[in-house]
Structure formats: C-alpha cells, structure tokens
Amino acid sequence: MDDSSNCFSSCVGFGNNYWSPRLFFSIWSSNDDLKADVLLKFRFVSRNANAIKSQVNNILHQNFELNESFLKINTSLPYLRDVSEVQAEHILNSGCGLGKELPSMDRIADGKISKKADWPWQASLQIDGTHFCGASLISEKWLLTAAHCFDINKNPRVWTVSFGTTLSPALMRREVQSIVLHEKYAPHKHDGDIAVVKLSTPVTFSSNVHRVCLPDTNFEVMPENKVFVTGWGALSPDGFYPNSLREVELKIISNDKCNQVDVYGGAVSSGMLCAGFLTGNHDACEGDSGGPLVISHNRNIWYVVGIVSWGIGCAKENKPGVYTKVTHYRDWIKSKTNI
C-alpha cells in the first residue's frame, strides 16, 4: 500500500474534535499485498477505566486469535495504550496529503485567501521574523523548498520556519538544523533549484499542520491537469505581501508549449515544469518561491509535483510560472532525507 492509502482517511470519522480520546489501539494486519493500520479511539467516562480496558483487551485478543487465518496481527505490539490527546492527534494526522476538499466546481478562481487546514503542509521560511520563501512539510522533520531561497544566506542558524495560514500570529515555529542544496544548483541559475531543510525539532502533526505526499518517480502530470499553488508571495511584482496564505488554481502547460519562442524559448529543461495560463492573470509571484504546486490525486489526496522556482514578471501573458519538477528529483530527495 502506498503512503496515500493510510489510516488517515479511514480514521477521519474518529477525529472529531469534541471527542476527548483517552485510549486507542492499533492493529497491524498484513499479508503479501495488504498492510493496514487501524486506530480506534475510546473515551471512558466511568471511573473504572482500567477494568473496561482489560475487558476490551481480552475481547480483542480472543477475536484476533480466532481470526488469525485471515488477519496476521503483530502481537508484540500492545493492543491498547494510553495516549494524550495531542499524541492521538499527531498519530491521526501522520498520513500525507489530506488537505482542501475539492468541491465539484469547474470555474477557475482568482487568487484567494486559503482556509485553515486546506494546505497544512505549507511553511514559511523566515529570517528575523521576515518571510522570504515558502516550503512544504514532507515529514515531521523535513521541508522541501527551492535552493535559490538560500542565495541570501545559507547559514541554517539564521533561518526559522513558521506554520499555519497566517504569518502573524504563527501556529507553530521551528528552528532549522541543516540546509541541503542540490549539488547541481548554482546561485542565480534555474537548474537544480531544489533544497531540503531539516528542522531542529520535529513538528507535532495536527489537522492544521501535516505533511504533503511526495509523488513516485513515475507519477505523471499531464498538460491541462488542474493544480494549485499557495504562498504568502506578493500580489503583483512590486505589490504588497499578504499576512494570510493565498492559493490560486492553475493548469499544467506542456514543456513543448512553454519552450515556444514567444514563451520561454528553450529555457525550460526536463527538470522543470510550467503551470499557469499563456493568457496570464493567474500565477505565483515574488515570495512564493520554494512553495508547493500540488495536485489532487485519488480521493483528495494531495501530492507536491512542483516547487515555485522562476518566471518573468508575474501573471504576464506568455510568461507562466516555472516550477522545479519534483518527480525528476525524487531519488535525490530520498538520498538526502530517506523519505
């Protein structure tokens, strides 16, 4: 089973905030082609929680042992354990790609303010509390971003990361432990514009902060596919920088089209992809760099397919945004982060 078909989606029903879970158990069942994590949260209101806990435990053990023929249970793991509400939220939100639920609408939206929890992997890379670039959370410790974000400063100690849809107040902040730039990247150039950033302390996942899915090398995006880019970048080339995260819906443009003489005339290499409209109007802009270009795949699971990299101006006719193509660098990401 891949990352996207994890417990996350099947557990949503248990994630109601008004529940105050005190116990949950996990079953790891597997055979050759199926592995499932199942979490059930219990809330015990009575005082004799321990008695109920051991009763539940017995029932589970008995049933699982009877059903061993089709369910292989890892009995070395405790069936029941106590967790705090924060830990339970962390586990329930540890899957990737659960974000905005796409309504069945086909109209293209103008850039607009994003709703809380729509893009929970979006991070802001900052120096002295000032936003410089976007980034995407790909695990509890790693962010994916653009290498050119660090042209200004490569020292991890000057950088901090914030999460949540508003820059101020931020929902969560972290310090940076290390920055790994692609070996092929040269400052102020566009090739190899990818970097991974390791946080000093892992984030605690919640419904508002969790990771995006990374596509496999063979994940294909097609021209005309609907994608979204998000960020706190400028609303126009010299325009104002918003405090609230914004999103805009774009379409993938083929590299052939993007390399036409009147567009980028060959500057778009196989490690890049274009998204936007040749008619202009919708685009990322300064300050969005490093941020995610995402696509919804299967049941609203979001994959980061591009990293905001470059463009001529913003939202200009024949000058769409150019993104680092994540699948092209998938093995590089794995080699640096083990994700």
Active site residue 289: yes
Which of the following is catalytic: 37, 118, 193, 283? 193
User: Across the strands, what pairs with 228?
Assistant: 249, 294
Under rule CB under 6 A, residue 271 binds ligand ARG: no
The SS3 of residue 102 is coil
Sequence-distant (6+) residues with CB within 8 A of 83 are 21, 22, 23, 24, 91
Residue nearest to ligand ARG (CB): 311
Kindly state whether residue 248 participates in binding ligand ARG, applying the rule CB under 6 A: no
Residue 9 catalytic? no
**Minimum Å distance from CB 58 to ligand ARG?**
58
Q: Which stretch binds ligand ARG (CB under 6 A): 51-59, 135-143, 194-202, 303-311?
A: 303-311
Q: According to CB under 6 A, which residues from 207 to 246 bind ligand ARG?
A: 233
Among 284, 304, 326, 333, binds ligand ARG (CB under 6 A): 284
Q: How far is the CB of 323 from ligand ARG (least distance, A)?
A: 8
| Rg of the chain taking only CA atoms, in angstroms | 22
Listed ranges 45-53, 68-76, 178-186, 307-315: which one lies at the site for ligand ARG (CB under 6 A): 307-315
**H or E stretch at 122:** strand 122-127
Residue of 203, 283, 325, 327 that binds ligand ARG (CB under 6 A) = 283
CA distance 4 to 188: 35
- When the beta carbons of 135 and 284 are compared against ligand ARG, the nearer one is 284
Encoding tokens for residue 142? 């790693």
How many residues touch ligand ARG under the rule CB under 6 A: the total is 13
Which is catalytic among the residues 37, 114, 124, 148? 148
- Please identify which residue in 96, 311, 324, 337 interacts with ligand ARG, judged by CB under 6 A: 311
8-14 contact pairs (CB < 8 A, 24+): 8/92, 8/93, 8/94, 8/95, 8/96, 8/98, 9/95, 9/98, 9/299, 9/301, 10/38, 11/38, 11/39, 11/92, 12/98, 14/39, 14/40, 14/41, 14/92
The question of whether 262 is a catalytic residue gets the answer no
Q: In which element (H, E) is residue 336 found?
A: helix 330-337
* Catalytic site positions: 148, 193, 289
Q: List residues near ligand ARG by CB under 6 A.
A: 233, 283-289, 308, 310-311, 314, 321
